[in-house]
């Protein structure tokens, strides 16, 4: 489990992010999907990352240092319809630059709202990750909202659509920030990835 989580720094420019001497795991997905809420749930700190009922809350690349050993990174959401074209292109520059230039980025958690039909923008985003060798894993969010059976059906629709693209189902987790669901599984996954990173360094 996570013992200590502290805010480190916010950046609009990936070149100014912390030194890449610790591994990091980033959280991305559509605006309002629950990225900041999931980070808080995993860290066990209520207001570590700022959350909001309104989409577009997180605007920068936010690093949180975890147990002095790795970073969780909260990213701004994509697909928020109301932002201007110029905001959209600066998002693209910032996020694509970040995702393709951090040598210490060991996993990108792509959050998918477990209630929705497969969204084109999510499928496009994971396709882009695949094309750019960005190591992504899916986390379905808000699993408390529909009930277990409906959630499973909805998630399977997305997995089937992803399988069409990749030939196999991507690795995935089912989460609820409200009910603290998926916490143990995710932390275990993170720990394994982080250990592997440090072992490879020697």
Ligand X SMILES: Nc1nc2c(ncn2[C@@H]2O[C@H](COP(=O)(O)OP(=O)(O)OP(=O)(O)O)[C@@H](O)[C@H]2O)c(=O)[nH]1
Give the Cα separation of 121 and 134 in Å (integer).
17
The total number of residues written for the chain in this structure? 202
Q: Which is nearer to Mg ion, 60 or 161 (CB)?
A: 60
Total residues binding Mg ion (CB under 5 A):
4
* Separation of alpha carbons 97 and 33, rounded Å: 22
Kindly tell me which residue out of 25, 174, 177, 186 binds ligand X, with binding defined by CB under 6 A: 177
If one asks whether residue 62 binds Mg ion (CB under 5 A), the answer comes out as no
144 versus 193: smaller Cβ distance to ligand X: 144
List the one residue from 5, 26, 36, 114 that touches Mg ion (CB under 5 A): 36
> Considering just the CA atoms, what is the radius of gyration of the chain in Å?
16
| Candidate segments 12-20, 123-131, 139-147, 182-190, binder of ligand X by CB under 6 A | 139-147
Of the candidates 23, 57, 61, 105, which one interacts with ligand X according to CB under 6 A? 57
- Angstrom distance (rounded) from CA 107 to CA 123: 18
Nearer to ligand X (CB atom), residue 142 or residue 197: 142
Residue nearer to Mg ion on the CB measure, 19 or 54? 54
8 A C-beta contact, residue 14 and residue 97: yes
- Report the DSSP pairing between strands 70-74 and 24-29: parallel
Q: List Cα–Cα distances, 121 to 22, 39, 48, 112, 176, in angstroms.
A: 31, 22, 28, 10, 22
Q: Out of 5, 17, 25, 36, point to the residue binding ligand X (CB under 6 A).
A: 36
The stretch among 32-40, 82-90, 153-161, 184-192 that binds ligand X (CB under 6 A) is 32-40
Q: Which residues sit at the interface with Mg ion, rule CB under 5 A?
A: 35-36, 57-58
């Amino acid at each position: 489990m996570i013992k200590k989580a502290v805010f480190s720094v916010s950046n609009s420019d990936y070149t100014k992010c912390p030194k890449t001497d610790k591994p990091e795991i980033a959280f991305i997905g559509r605006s309002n999907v629950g990225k900041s809420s999931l980070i808080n749930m995993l860290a066990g700190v209520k207001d570590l990352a700022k959350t909001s009922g309104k989409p577009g809350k997180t605007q920068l690349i936010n690093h949180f240092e975890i147990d002095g050993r790795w970073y969780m990174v909260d990213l701004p959401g994509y697909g928020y319809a109301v932002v201007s074209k110029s905001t959209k292109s600066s998002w693209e520059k910032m996020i694509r630059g970040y995702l393709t230039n951090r040598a210490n980025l060991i996993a990108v958690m792509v959050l998918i709202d477990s209630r929705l039909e497969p969204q084109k923008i999510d499928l496009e985003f994971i396709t882009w990750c695949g094309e750019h060798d960005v190591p992504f894993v899916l986390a379905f969010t808000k699993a408390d909202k529909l009930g277990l059976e409906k959630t499973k059906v909805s998630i399977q629709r997305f997995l089937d659509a992803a399988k069409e693209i990749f030939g196999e189902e991507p690795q995935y987790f089912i989460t609820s920030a409200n009910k603290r669901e998926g916490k143990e599984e995710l932390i275990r996954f993170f720990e394994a990835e982080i250990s592997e990173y440090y072992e490879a360094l020697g």
